[in-house]
Amino acid sequence: MTVIVARGLERRFGSKRVLAGIDLDVPEGAFVVVTGPNGSGKTTLLSLCAGLLAPTKGTLDVRAERRELGYLAHEPLVYRELTALENLELYGRLYRVPERRERIGMLLERFSLWDTRHERVSTFSRGMAQRLAFCRVLLHEPRLLLLDEPYSALDAEASELVDAELRALAAERTVVVSTHDPERLAALATARLALA
Amino acid sequence: MSLRNNRLGVLALAAAALLLAGVALAFYWAPEDADQGFSQRIFYIHVSVALTAYASFGWAAWKALRLLWRRDERYDLESYTAVHVGVMFGVLTLVTGSIWARISWGVWWSWGERQLVLFLVLFLFYSAYFMLRYSTEPGPRRARMSAVYALFGVVLIPISFLAIRLAENFIHPVVFTREGPQMSGSMFFTFCVCLAGTLALAGSLYANELLGKRLDERLRDLREALA
Amino acid sequence: MTYLADVAALAKKDLLLELRSRDTLPAMLLFVVSTLVVFHFSLPSGSSDIAAAGLLWVAIVFTALLGLTRAFVAEREQRLMDGLVLAPCDRSAIWLAKGLSIVVFLLLAEVVALPAYALFFEPVSGQMVAGILLADLGIASVGTLLAAMAAASRARELLLPLLFLPLAIPVIVGGVGASVADDPARYLGFLGLYDLIFAILSWASFEYVVTE
């Protein structure tokens, strides 16, 4: 079953055309690595697939509902004045995550944030916030994962954690990842998309 | 393309003819009003222009609704153009109303004039529409927000009118009285001709502006395709 | 009833954020009192009740603007609106939750403003309070939607007053009328009508304002 179908996908911002003539077929279980220089539209493509942006031309069909979609953006999308736990509680409620408490605890533990769960995100380093973002993304066990440069701001230890996560996810979910370091994901990739 | 041009030309011609006829009728043929005399003749233009403005805003709201319903960005330009034409006629309403007030009562502005006050509020509202469009990146988001705002505008018209009527009770005890259209047959005919003229004018302005903007769009697309 | 659960979770978040950052509400409280003091100096002596009541309403509307301008600040600066919009909940729940928190802020500001008004100008009547309560609902409904629009634009804080004030005019008319008229029922009814129509309109169209 195809999860994402795009034909002639185009997105412009004002007079600037960021994506043009993109055709995509992402089957279930695929692991797509998206590469390209800065400004080539990687983030735009992921935002389009997430449904945050609408195409200005062409068609895009993402066969996943919002509750099946996990989007890791450039920003961690967590409230700075709330604690890690409160953030995940909020998202857990909005995504109607079953056994919310247990799942949150497990994720915080896995990403080494359990000890700082009662601290406000404003006290976190960029890397910690990114790890929290991962927790947010994985909280509702999404079928389709859209990850925009997941390794940014992560140290070596955290990066290996993410490697392990991605290996586990690749086996059972559909993943679209944009990255500056495609070699790292070469083993997992089932398809590549290079944006000009 | 040429067929559309023909239609546009015919509409513009009709507008010119009707307006000329209407103004002539208003100033030379229609009977003089017993109470107000000559100044009442501006009424034909003033009310026609006001009703045309309402019609434009209504048209804009209709297009806005279509945009939200169909998710087709084509309607954005049509809604915007209708608002633009509506604002032009709105300003005209304010100007003709002001002239009428000056001739009738010697003042350039009267808060007791409900239509005038209503148009002032609408003018502020739809000016903000342009500010909204100007300060947002063109794209699907701007189109949707403009559409929602245009819908709010059309709902605001009756609500504001009600508010202005209510306000008269405590804000402006002095209300200039003026007869509504208790028109004789020939007056009514004159009015209809004027109204038809202003509507036709609005229609041709709308169609003309839309045509120009769509041409710009196509030109841009062609340029990109060639680049 | 997951819709209400969503609204509750979001409203709790909004109030918690304000409790932690404490920037909007104190500003609103101080602003409304300062404005009333300024109005004392701008009103000629011997001015009527109506003039003073009118100025109270101006103070309330501008204080509301202050609060509304801050309403979506976190969502805009940290792109958090994306996070909320991606969630499977109805987008109108975001509007409702944010609107409720604005109503709470307005009520708290009025708890300070009304005694100040009674102290500086005229005693506060029951009909005035009724008018204020109804007006708060209308202001919050329309204001929350417009704040989301303004947050998506480049002009941001500059745009919100321009969008909001024309729509606030009927509220002011209803409010002042309810405060000073002999038969406030008409004005209160009008405010109720405004609230109903614009709340429904805002609730239904919020989705279109925050998504593409």
Q: Which chains touch C (3 or more CB pairs under 8 A)?
A: A, B
| Confidence (pLDDT) at B183 | 67
Containing A72, the helix (H) or strand (E) segment is: strand A69-72
The answer to whether the CB atoms of C88 and A95 lie below 8 A apart is yes
Q: How many domains does chain B have?
A: 1
Least confident of A129-133, A141-145, B161-165, C44-48: C44-48
Phi, psi of A110 (to 5 degrees): -60, -35
Q: Do B155 and C193 touch (CB under 8 A)?
A: no
> For residue A177, what are the domain limits?
28-51+65-194
- B21 domain-assigned: no
pLDDT tens-digit series, residues C18-31: 999 888 999 999 99
The answer on pLDDT for C43 being more than 90 is no
C20 contacts chain A (CB < 8 A): yes
| Alpha-carbon torsion, ordered B10, B11, B13, B15, to 10 deg | 160
Rounded Cα distance between B208 and B200, Å, is 12
Q: Could you tell me if residue A120 is inside a domain?
A: yes
Domain span holding position C200: 2-210
Residue A102 falls within a domain, yes or no? yes
Distance of alpha carbon A89 from alpha carbon A86, whole angstroms: 5
pLDDT the model gives residue B29: 75
Instruction: Give residue B2's pLDDT.
Output: 60
Task: Note whether C86 contacts A75, CB cutoff 8 Å.
Answer: no
The tokens describing B199, both together, are 């509507």
C115-148 confidence digits (pLDDT tens): 999 998 889 999 999 999 999 999 999 999 999 9
Residue A106 included in any domain: yes
Distance between CA atoms of residues B114 and B168, nearest Å: 9
pLDDT digits (tens, 9 = 90+) for C138-187: 999 999 999 999 999 988 889 999 999 999 999 999 999 999 888 899 99
Which residues are within 8 A (CB) of C86 and not within 5 positions of it... i.e. 6 or more apart? Answer: A50, A51, A52, A66, A69, A71
**What pLDDT score was predicted for residue A126?**
92
Q: Which residue has the higher pLDDT, C95 or B190?
A: C95
Assigned domain for B33 exists: no
C94 Cα to chain A: minimum distance (Å): 11
Q: Could you give the angle at which helices C159-180 and C126-151 cross, rounded to 10 degrees?
A: 170
Beta-bridged to residue A34, according to DSSP, are A178, A193
Whether the predicted pLDDT of B17 surpasses 90: no
Question: Closest residue of A to B220, CA-based?
Answer: A15
Give yes or no for residue B39 having a pLDDT over 80.
Answer: no
Q: A residues 49-78 near B, CB within 8 Å?
A: 53-54, 56
Residue of C nearest to A56 (CA): C212
- Tell me, yes or no, if A144 comes closer than 8 A to chain C by beta carbon: no
pLDDT at B169 over 80: no
Please indicate if any CB of chain C lies within 8 Å of the CB of B79.
no
Helix H segments across A26-174? 42-50, 84-94, 100-110, 126-138, 156-172
pLDDT at C104 over 90: yes
Domain hosting residue B100, numbered range: 41-170+189-221
* Contact between B139 and A14 using a beta-carbon 8 Å cutoff: yes
Assigned domain for A169 exists? yes
Best CA proximity match to B159, nearest among A87, C117, C143, C172: C172
Predicted local distance difference test score (pLDDT) of residue B100:
86
Q: Which residues of chain A have pLDDT under 70?
A: none
Q: Report d(CA A38, CA B216) in Å as an integer.
A: 30
Q: Are A55 and A24 in contact (CB under 8 A)?
A: no
Of C38, C28, C25, C54, nearest in space to C171 by CA = C54
* Residue B178 within a domain: no
Residue of A nearest to C20 (CA): A81
- Contacting residues of C for A95, CB less than 8 Å apart: 87-88
List the single residue in A51, A79, A94 with the smallest CB-CB distance to C9: A94
| pLDDT interval class at B158 (50, 70, 90) | very high
Q: Is the pLDDT of residue B33 over 70?
A: no
Q: Which residues of B touch C211 (CB under 8 A)?
A: 144
For residue B14, tell me if it sits in a domain.
no
Number of domains in chain A: 1
Position B1 scores a pLDDT of: 53
Cα(A187)–Cα(A120) distance, integer angstroms: 37
Is the pTM higher than 0.90? The answer reads yes
How many C-alpha atoms does B191 have within 13 Å on its Cβ side?
Answer: 18
Residue B178 reports pLDDT greater than 60: no
Q: What is the pLDDT of residue A91?
A: 97
Nearest CA in chain A to C7: A94
Q: Distance from A129 to chain C by nearest Cα, in Å?
A: 12
Continuous H helices in C43-125: 49-69, 73-77, 80-86, 91-120
Q: Is the pLDDT of residue B4 over 70?
A: no
Is residue B192 within 8 angstroms of chain C, CB to CB? no
Q: Which residues of A touch C88 (CB under 8 A)?
A: 65-67, 94-96
A87: in domain = yes
| pLDDT tier for residue B95 given thresholds of 50, 70 and 90 | very high
Residue B79 domain flag: yes
Residue B193 pLDDT > 80: yes
State whether C170 and B159 contact (CB < 8 Å): yes
The answer to whether residues C65 and C161 touch, using CB atoms and an 8 Å cutoff, is yes
Query: What's the average model confidence in pLDDT over B107-124?
Result: 90
Flag whether residue C204 sits within 8 Å of chain B, measured between CB atoms: no
CA A6 → CA A180, A192, C82, distances in Å?
23, 15, 22
- Domain CATH for A133: 3.40.50.300
ipTM of this complex prediction, to 2 decimal places = 0.93
Residue A7 lies in a domain: no
